[in-house]
Structure formats: structure tokens, C-alpha cells
Structure 1
């Protein structure tokens, strides 16, 4: 479906989400910059409107864009980001047609619960949210 002309894939992620940040940490360790780029949608430099989206839309599900301008989201963004990092075998079940409906349901449930998981420890070693206030630390982009 996608060939090497489509790389790099740019992954738009929520750096304030502890679970998301853990996944990004794994991907960063394995990904070559020529195949996978990272953009924290909570960084001060990010402008969702410049991409034709709202921040709320970008926060609702994971998004990724191939170099040729094709967008993928949700399970497909996860699958392709893991493939871009050379870890596609771990995400291969996301491409299994028989499992897709169940996995899509689980992903939608995760997206609804994700905002309520801010209390989990963040991989940068500190809590991001205290009470109703969250501190945003700008993560470096590869």
C-alpha cells in the first residue's frame, strides 16, 4: 500500500497523556528520522488550524500523515507508526480483518477514558496534572 516514497510518517501525539507518552518513548528508541517524525500537539509551537483541524479533533484520536499528504488516524495511525519504527510485528494484529471491529471498539473506549488517566505517572518522571491544572513540558521533536 505504501512505499518508501511515502516516508517519513509524521505522528501527532498528546505528550501530556502518560500512556501515549510511554508509547512514543518506545517508538522514539526504534524509529529512524527518515521514517518517523513526532509532533506533540500540546507543544506551544503546534497549530492544529494550520493543518485544517481543531485541537479538540487532534486530541480525540491519534493522527499521522505520510509524506505524500495522506492521513491516517486511530488504529491505522498506531499500526503505521509502529511499522515506520520497524516494530510492525507488535502491531500486526491491528491489521487482522477479523479483529478490527473489536479492536476499533476498544480503541474508541480508550479514547473516551484517556482524559481521565492523567493521574498516572508520566514517563518524564513527574506528574503533569495536579488538581485541575496541568503543566505542559515541551518535548523535543526529532
Structure 2
């Protein structure tokens, strides 16, 4: 099984929580998680990289639902969902849901930001 690289927004409280969960599930260490806000080099423009979820699988840069599916394929527990997403109707439905999520993401980020425990 190949390694997957995932770029995430380390300044986003919602993203930090999700990545923390994925790190715990990645028991075999097959995913390289990179905070795109502090990465020295990015595969594309940093603004574009932070606007959508991105992952690299088998040398291909993926974004949105396809990037989530790549990450899931690297985690045994989630692998069946990642494999299911290889079917066009499934990935199309997932991408549609992801685009809807992006519209509410700013509100969710603010809400999750307020929920974080501050020292």
C-alpha cells in the first residue's frame, strides 16, 4: 500500500480536530500530515491549497472528496469507504456533499474555535 500525503489547515480548529482523529486511526503510519500554513513548500499555490482539502496518492494530487477518499484508503478501518469512492456515482455524490460543506465551513470553524479550551 502506498503512502499518502495530506495537507491541512493548521489554523482551522475544525481541521485540527479532524486531523487528530485521522492521526489516531493511522496506526500503520501511512499518511504524512503536513500543516499547509507552515509548510515551506506546497505543491500548488498556498491559498488554493487551503481553500480545499488536498492529498497526494501515487503521485497524483487530489482535492475535495477524492482527497478524503485517498486518506481513507490508507487507514484500514476506513479503507472500504475509500475503495467505494472509486466508483463515479459515489465520488460524485461525495463531491457534491463536500461543496455544500465548504459553504458552511466558515461558520463551523468559528463554532469549533469557540469550543476549544484556551489555556
Q: TM-score range by the shorter chain?
A: 0.7 to 0.9
Question: Which of 94, 105, 118 pairs up with 2:96?
Answer: 105
Alignment RMSD, CA only? 2.4
Question: Which of 47, 65, 72 pairs up with 1:75?
Answer: 65
CA distance in 1, matches of 2:87, 2:97: 15
CA distance in 1, matches of 2:112, 2:43: 32
Q: Which protein is richer in helix relative to its size?
A: 2
- Does 1:30 find its partner at 2:20? no
Please state how far the C-alpha of 1:93 moved relative to its aligned partner.
4.9
Please state how far the C-alpha of 1:17 moved relative to its aligned partner.
2.5
- Does 1:11 find its partner at 2:6? yes
**Unpaired segments of 5 or more residues in structure 1?**
128-142
Structure number with greater Rg is: 1
TM-score (normalised: structure 2): 0.77
Give the structure, 1 or 2, with the largest relative contact order (CA under 8 Å, sep 6 or more).
1
